[in-house]
Amino acid sequence: MNEQVHFADSGEAAVLAAFLGRLVHYDRAAAVRLQARAGGGALAVFGRPPSFDVLAIRTARLATPLATPLDVTVSAGELLEAVDESGAGVTVPGPVTGPPWAGVLPPRGGWRPVAGLPAPEAVRAAVAAAVAEFRARDEALPPQHRTRSERDRIGREIWSRTLGDTELPLRAVHAAQSLGCLRPVRTPVPAATAATPGPAGPGAPAPVALFASGGWLRLSTPYGSVATRRPGGLGALQVRPV
């Protein structure tokens, strides 16, 4: 029988479904690796959207700790279909043959804060500026040079730049934004006006933090994380059976 996982509430199920939906948007055949410790309070979901060269990580709080550890690679699409948002749970689908990245995950511990990250507003502005630059340079290409290889070259040049005074490549920040990790925090609506029609106004951008462990960097926000290899080394890899 497939594992039954129960989340702390329907909101946890909804944000997991949104995360999986974004992964499937970029790759309909995407796979994700699931991990939860026996007695732990959260399920960790790892995915790798194509083109970004990062690992995306989303955790979901559990209603009750699992009695036995869970560590399996499954189809992201099948897992998305199995998420029951109203019931705040999911039936884990059968395992699939994991892609190479699923056997090499960032370390679980040893993460330390890294200085030099700009303010959240500046992080979002850096991504917007890079996207605008890519579009402008792409549009400026003469027809004979408007090829996939030339566009890839421009993309590599732009997205390999680092953010602020850190080693973090812009492609990692772009991935975080594309996967919803940098979405703005919504200002809470007072109870007295909760029934008033209309959307809540956006608040400040989500807080961001940068951490390092061995050969990895991790950009973390309340809505998820992205991890990428640091330049020049593999560092402490976590190689586990898939």
Q: Could you tell me if 195 and 151 are in contact, meaning their C-beta atoms sit under 8 angstroms apart?
A: no
Token pair, residue 169, equals 């490549």
Average pLDDT of the residues in 205-215: 90
Location of each CATH 3.70.10.10 domain in the chain: 4-105
Share of the chain above pLDDT 90, in %: 74
212-229 pLDDT, tens digit per residue, is 999 999 999 999 999 999
**32 CB burial (10 A radius; 0-12, 13-18, 19+):** buried
- What was the pLDDT predicted at 71? 95
- Give the number of other Cβ atoms within 10 Å of residue 161's Cβ: 13
CATH topology of domain 4-105: Proliferating Cell Nuclear Antigen (3.70.10)
Band of residue 236 on the pLDDT scale cut at 50, 70, 90: very low
- Give the number of other Cβ atoms within 10 Å of residue 141's Cβ: 13
**Nearest partner of 171 among 20, 58, 56, judged by Cα:** 56
Band of residue 198 on the pLDDT scale cut at 50, 70, 90: very low
Dist CA 160 CA 2 (whole Å): 41
Share of the chain above pLDDT 70, in %: 86
Q: Could you tell me if 134 and 161 are in contact, meaning their C-beta atoms sit under 8 angstroms apart?
A: no
Amino acid at site 30: A
Band of residue 231 on the pLDDT scale cut at 50, 70, 90: confident
**Nearest partner of 106 among 23, 225, 208, judged by Cα:** 225
- pLDDT: is 200 or 67 the higher one? 67
Average pLDDT of the residues in 74-83: 97
Tell me the torsion sign for CA atoms 90, 91, 96, 101: positive
Q: Phi and psi at residue 46, in whole multiples of 5°?
A: -110, 135
Band of residue 188 on the pLDDT scale cut at 50, 70, 90: very low
93-132 pLDDT, tens digit per residue, is 999 998 999 999 999 899 999 999 999 999 999 999 999 9
DSSP state, residue 166: S
pTM of the predicted model over 0.85: no
- pLDDT: is 181 or 77 the higher one? 77
Mean pLDDT, the chain, as a whole number? 86
Band of residue 3 on the pLDDT scale cut at 50, 70, 90: confident
